[in-house]
Structure 1
């Protein structure tokens, strides 16, 4: 989905949201949060407000007319009831109607609302130098717990990773063998046109572990191949440096040198990765990258996403360093809890070592 379309969808959601939510969304757009994140948050806010009205917890006739005073009066049991509603009621209005929401989906709702209430409770100011809300009811709400253990999650993830030499073989496959799987002249021509770019994108994913949003938002000036570094904007809007593995740098340099020749962008187009739209070069869209990764990976091994390439880097780095702190720094995580899953992915190596511990290999 294009950025212009997402911004239009945000405008539509804004029409049904109270003024203080619009203020929140504007403040986060400056951070900046990605347009996709803001759109998802806006939908979560609308759904929450619609539910409050439908349950008669708030008496406002429309979501647009909800006031700060209404939120001030919310109690823990009100929000716990909404959390229960998300966990147990079926989805409606989507292609997955009547299916239960995953714990990830429910947690995303809680995270979005927690962010809004934190803003209203700590980051706002009235004319009297007071915050908009005197209490934050979401401080009392616990996160949603998954029924899967880390080990179960890690095993399901491991099946979709490119471990050990598979990452190198994946790039080699795209470079040397993928074209032979294509039957039409049109498909071969499209592949050849973007081959150098596609290899550069996947090499940068595998060489850094950066997120999809971080990659597509990179500017030409953010890439420093001489020092093997990529400047990215992390979640939360802070700038960070991701180290690039020298193992993948050749593919990245090849694209950097060919960018102008391949796409002939205007002088003002500073995006690192480009595509051609209606004869003009423009920044590549996240959906285009997702489809591209899925296409190559399906042909090579199994369909994967850019996020699985990120997991691949995290797993390999942990195997080499045995340090969650190192992994969290490379991946731009604010703590080590999100990277703990990698310790379980490499458990098989630990088991093999223990099984072989007392064997005489001489």
Structure 2
């Protein structure tokens, strides 16, 4: 099968399976680069791709300065593509499965309490001075990300009807597009109620969506990233990136540091595989050791 047709068929299958727009865009870009590389090296048919071709492509990516994480992501996309070809009976095997992932230097940044307080204080000051929607929205975005650990796409699509103030839950549609419940605290619920009251006064017609642009239209991936890029410039943190995902990491970090079990953290984070959760727990093991050294009950006894 011609590679260009196989590529288009794969993308159509992803659309049919309700792959998110973000993931679909990633497939087009990351997998598209591999397809172009194959075409440039006179590989016309999907059956002609060998494991050595995949390795050569990834070495080429490395020579361009791609990090181990980026290369592993590209390998993951290639594996998914070739696996689909196997499922469709076009290939007998997925040659990319024998290609090993690169070892990544895993470092996940999280916010300190002081950094969180600094960001909240910035928006509080704006609210006092300007009373603008921008300031109220920014403040509430931080509280919601930090208090729930939900993803950027989930917060963009969050509607008022998804929030159950009586049972303190919100409904989101996660990566699998399945409806999932996320717990919220009474403190966050009270802040959301006050925020909604402000929106009702500020806009003539309250939007279905919790977080909107200044013209009362639904936020996009681009518009929410602009919010955090602006906040990054204002804060000028040297050691951490101001982004929605950093808030998700911080949420997970606080759960781990509190002593919550890995199983409970998996449910709170909605990780499909507990192995992902264990990566976080293992990563912060040194911090847990420090906490144990400091607070262990035996510290109070002379032995």
TM-score category (smaller protein): 0.7 to 0.9
Give the 3 Å change call, closer, same or farther, for CA 295–226 of structure 1 in structure 2: farther
Q: CA deviation at 1:102?
A: 1.1
Is the aligned partner of 1:236 residue 2:176? yes
Counterparts of 1:329 and 1:353 in 2: how far apart (Å)? 24
State whether residues 199 and 252 of structure 1, in contact with CA within 8 Å, keep that contact through their aligned partners in structure 2: no
Could you tell me which of 240, 253, 263 is aligned with 1:325?
263
Could you tell me which of 259, 267, 286 is aligned with 1:347?
286
Q: CA deviation at 1:210?
A: 0.7
Counterparts of 2:285 and 2:125 in 1: how far apart (Å)? 30
Counterparts of 2:184 and 2:286 in 1: how far apart (Å)? 26
Partner of 1:193: 133
The TM-score, its normalising length taken from structure 2, stands at: 0.83
The TM-score, its normalising length taken from structure 1, stands at: 0.71
- Deviations along 1:46-100, one digit per CA (max 9) or x if unpaired, are 21122112223x1x4xxxxxxxxx212322222122222222x21xxxxxxxxx1
State whether residues 126 and 135 of structure 2, in contact with CA within 8 Å, keep that contact through their aligned partners in structure 1: no
State whether residues 317 and 327 of structure 1, in contact with CA within 8 Å, keep that contact through their aligned partners in structure 2: yes
* Structure 1 portions without partners, runs of 5+: 1-16, 61-69, 91-99, 125-130, 181-187
- Deviations along 1:233-275, one digit per CA (max 9) or x if unpaired, are 2123222112123332222222234434433458xx6333211
Is the aligned partner of 1:50 residue 2:15? no
Partner of 1:95: none
Could you tell me which of 70, 84, 92 is aligned with 2:59?
84
Counterparts of 2:55 and 2:141 in 1: how far apart (Å)? 43
| Pairs aligned (count) | 295
CA RMSD, aligned part only?
A: 2.9
Counterparts of 1:270 and 1:28 in 2: how far apart (Å)? 28
Counterparts of 1:106 and 1:177 in 2: how far apart (Å)? 43
State whether residues 134 and 214 of structure 2, in contact with CA within 8 Å, keep that contact through their aligned partners in structure 1: no
Is the aligned partner of 1:290 residue 2:255? no
Partner of 1:271: 209
